Structure 1
Amino acid sequence: MIREFIDRETERALLEEEWRKDGGRLIILYGRRRIGKTRLVTEFIRGKEGILHFAEDTAPQIQIRRLQEEVARFFSDPLLATLEITTWDQLFTYLARIPLAERRYLVIDEFTYLIKNDPAVLSALQKAWDTALAGSNWCILLSGSMLGLMADSALSYTSPLYGRRTRDMLLGPLQFCDARTFLPSFSFRDALKAHLTLGGIPEYLLKAGDHPDYATFVEREFFNKYGYFYREPYFLLSQEFRELKTYQAILNAIAVGNTAPGTIAQFCGMDARHLYPYLEAMTRLGIIEKELPLFGSRRQGLYRIKDCIFDFWYNFVFSHRQAIETENHSVDAVDMNPYFGKQFEVFVRSEFARKVLPGYTTGRWWYRGEEIDLVAVRESDASIVFGECKWGSLTEREARGVLTRLSQKAEHVRHDTYTSERFCLVAGDIKGKDRLREEGFLVYGLADIEAACTVG
């Protein structure tokens, strides 16, 4: 059954814009696996005419032959089907020489498989583009999941395609308000937990949606040696890197709380000087990211795992594989609240705060052991908001204590240019919320998050 296509209005509009423009179009679409590139492409070409080719990780001659057959079938050219074509140059030259009266598409899904097995495909496409395709009615879309290979071979200034592409698009994860529609049987809290675990990846959300609730989903798909996610992060890493043990050690170090380069290196038994190439490689692929305090020095940067599936897996699966293999591990025995607390902070900063604090730039702040979960600034009226995030429920007394400590910490933040100051608290549930709001505090619980998502 084909599920309803969710969100991606911006991406679809950009693709349609490219389709309507004159001349040849060369679009590069890339993003991590399972993000929904193929589904986006399928929706884009619906009702249009052209060639859709799904590349495979196989020998170049087989790849050429398969695309040749699809081209011959599209143009109803039995002669092409019988010709001995051995190079990409020959195949793209054929396409370049056929005049098109109307716009047609050539989509190559998982283009990185072609690059990986025969980099000459890039030069062949460049030659055909420069000689004829750029002025043609072809709309060429190249899609790829191996982010390192796409960045180095198709997008970098050293690529033969550099300067030729008319659009490149990095497809990111869904926001929670769209992601939760994949989980109709989940309670709102369970849907949010799934989002904090999976990170808005459509295919992952579809898998979660096959289960009645979050606990059942995690038990069957993570803490089960036959589960869908039991080896998923390992597979994703193996597609990009060779030194898997080193990358796994670094991710494990960050997952358990070692966020500074020095402590990461110490945890892994590495010289800190040798750590940075690994950190840079994973940062480039969006697996981790370097965070900087909103007010502070760049030397204070800390690392966190950006891709939720990696963070969850290295927190709860990586170190318990033996117990899972022997079926001696249960979700009931795991305290996930610290993990959800950490990810809830990220969610509030990156998604929820943008709904309730429009026009603000958000981040966090830390210095010498002090930390503020949310700092939001708006230049237009010189306003600043300091916030704390708590995954659990708070009594009114506890909430007031959190806000008092927040006010004290805010005194250490150097923000002289911001004259309007407010304080915010976001938690699972907060007693006395209305009274706190009457006193000028910005106070939100899960019910407010649900309302904001429902409104959109």
Structure 2
Amino acid sequence: MIREFVDRETERALLEEEWRKDGGRLIILYGRRRIGKTRLVTEFIRGKAGILHFAEDTAAQIQIRRLQEAVAQFFADPLLATLEITTWDQLLTYLSQKPLPERRYLVIDEFTYLIKNDPTALSALQKAWDTALAGSNWCILLSGSMLGLMTDSALSYTSPLYGRRTRDMLLGPLQLVDARRFLPSFSFQDVLKAHLTIGGIPEYLLKAGDYPDYATFVEREFFSKYSYFYREPYFLLSQEFRELKTYQAILNAVAVGNTAPGAIAQFCGMDPRHLYPYLGAMTRLGIIEKELPLLGSRRQGLYRIKDCVFDFWYNFVFSHRQAIETENHSVDTVDMNPYFGKRFEIFVRNEFARKIFWGYTTGRWWYRGEEIDLVAVREIDNGIVFGECKWGSLTEREARGVLVRLVRKAEHVRHEHYPNERFCLVAGGVEGKGRLRDEGFLVYDLADIEAAYTAG
């Protein structure tokens, strides 16, 4: 199984750029749990000198004492280790007043635990930064996973650190081209299934890489009460929110197909007016997202689950917990094709189409009962691509039928600014795709997707 550090070249380059600049640097690195922040930090500080502090969810005085010990060890100052330091202001003042002839780092991993247990850490850091650290050789990196707290306390305009950070970085999931490197024993179809199930989260991919194929992985790690993912979404929600039952109900509603606010509220038995704060909170954390039609009416958006693990879990685990608890549930009894169809469409729009249609803005279109899975536009040549996505395999006759209906639906979307039209079909398999291509259609199947990602 792969253990080397994968991808993150852009992030590493940005961190190195910050390191090489003059003066103090204050970097905020944040992202969902399991995304690989600690590993990125570890790679960044390799071969450099400084202080690395792993914060824990414990009393502020314990946190201060532990960081005090690390600072005393770094400066070889036994006197500091014996002093009675009780506030962040005292400790950071000491740090800011120590001469530092060369660039050094101070990394606080899971910084949110510090401000959760003692918010004065923020104002203490602000004071130390303004008085000395901004002009020093310290490169300070604050990393956090509690996205709500990180956004509100460290990144918002009301934060004491507002206007002082020299860079902030939201670490996102890996793309398929890198994620597949974690799964060397999987077939490409299984790699894609895993990508549609757990996304590009490095720790999740490492777990999947322990298994020979997708079915075994899902059976062992989702559909068992002792599995890694059995309580994972619940744990992630509990780190951010208190009203777990309400958030769980909303996620369940969206997962099973209620995407309009009214439908979500009805499913949950809520007043629609009370729904929006919950939707906003989860949107801010990247759990769900609001989608607006491309080239359509933008007055009413729809909601879908953005995080694959949440989507899969609320589709297949949440509603089957009793059967899983009694060990009366198996992956063989679950029809996952509708789920894969939905996530495959999203993958094509957000990853594959952007890979093959260079320079295009991608989205989808819907109005009343009509929908087009993929709409991609490009300004430089006024081009537009209309596309349909099918998870399964199609005969040539079925593929032609899909394309004929697509051409007809496109009449509702046509825009005078985009006269150069093309029509696209992406499916698991397409019989006769060569003949369809000869007729001017853009046709791709799983073999073409694999070739595109094999080429990198």
What TM-score does the superposition give when structure 2 sets the normalisation length?
Answer: 0.99
Equivalent residue letter for 2:201: I
Structure 1 residue 405 corresponds to structure 2 residue 405: yes
2:204 & 2:276 partners in 1: Cα distance? Answer: 30
1:297 & 1:246 partners in 2: Cα distance? Answer: 30
Indicate the RMSD between aligned Cα atoms, in angstroms: 0.8
2:368 & 2:298 partners in 1: Cα distance? Answer: 15
1:65 & 1:243 partners in 2: Cα distance? Answer: 33
Q: Secondary structure at the match of 1:375?
A: strand
| 1:46/1:178 CA distance change after superposition, 3 Å | same
2:402 & 2:298 partners in 1: Cα distance? Answer: 28
Task: Specify the alignment match of 1:388 in structure 2.
Answer: 388
Deviations 1:216-248 (A, max 9, x none): 000000000000000000000000000000000
Question: 1:171: Cα distance to partner?
Answer: 0.3
Question: 1:440: Cα distance to partner?
Answer: 0.6
Deviations 1:409-448 (A, max 9, x none): 0011141211110000000111101111111110001111
Task: Specify the alignment match of 1:334 in structure 2.
Answer: 334
2:382 & 2:152 partners in 1: Cα distance? Answer: 41
Q: Tell me, which stretches of 5 or more residues in structure 2 are unaligned?
A: none
Question: 1:292: Cα distance to partner?
Answer: 0.3
1:194 & 1:215 partners in 2: Cα distance? Answer: 9
Question: 1:375: Cα distance to partner?
Answer: 0.3
Question: 1:90: Cα distance to partner?
Answer: 0.6
Matches within 5 A, 1:287-366: 287-366=287-366
2:286 & 2:240 partners in 1: Cα distance? Answer: 12
Deviations 1:375-415 (A, max 9, x none): 00001101100000000001111100100000010011141
Equivalent residue letter for 2:54: F
Q: Tell me, which stretches of 5 or more residues in structure 1 are unaligned?
A: none
Task: Specify the alignment match of 1:54 in structure 2.
Answer: 54
Question: 1:3: Cα distance to partner?
Answer: 1.1
Deviations 1:96-154 (A, max 9, x none): 01111110000000000000000000000000000000000000000000000000000
1:390 & 1:2 partners in 2: Cα distance? Answer: 31
Partners of 2:2 and 2:182 within 8 A in 1: no
Equivalent residue letter for 1:167: R
Question: 1:300: Cα distance to partner?
Answer: 2.6
Matches within 5 A, 1:129-140: 129-140=129-140
Task: Specify the alignment match of 1:40 in structure 2.
Answer: 40
| 1:183/1:2 CA distance change after superposition, 3 Å | closer
Task: Specify the alignment match of 1:454 in structure 2.
Answer: 454
Q: Secondary structure at the match of 1:210?
A: coil
Task: Specify the alignment match of 1:278 in structure 2.
Answer: 278
2:132 & 2:434 partners in 1: Cα distance? Answer: 67
Task: Specify the alignment match of 1:214 in structure 2.
Answer: 214
2:71 & 2:328 partners in 1: Cα distance? Answer: 53
Q: Secondary structure at the match of 2:29?
A: strand
Question: 1:295: Cα distance to partner?
Answer: 1.3
Matches within 5 A, 1:55-204: 55-204=55-204
Q: Secondary structure at the match of 1:452?
A: helix
Partners of 2:154 and 2:160 within 8 A in 1: yes
Moved over 6 A (4+): none
What TM-score does the superposition give when structure 1 sets the normalisation length?
Answer: 0.99
1:354 & 1:268 partners in 2: Cα distance? Answer: 36
Question: 1:2: Cα distance to partner?
Answer: 8.2
**Pairs aligned (count):** 456
Deviations 1:307-339 (A, max 9, x none): 000000000000000000000000000000000
1:296 & 1:403 partners in 2: Cα distance? Answer: 21
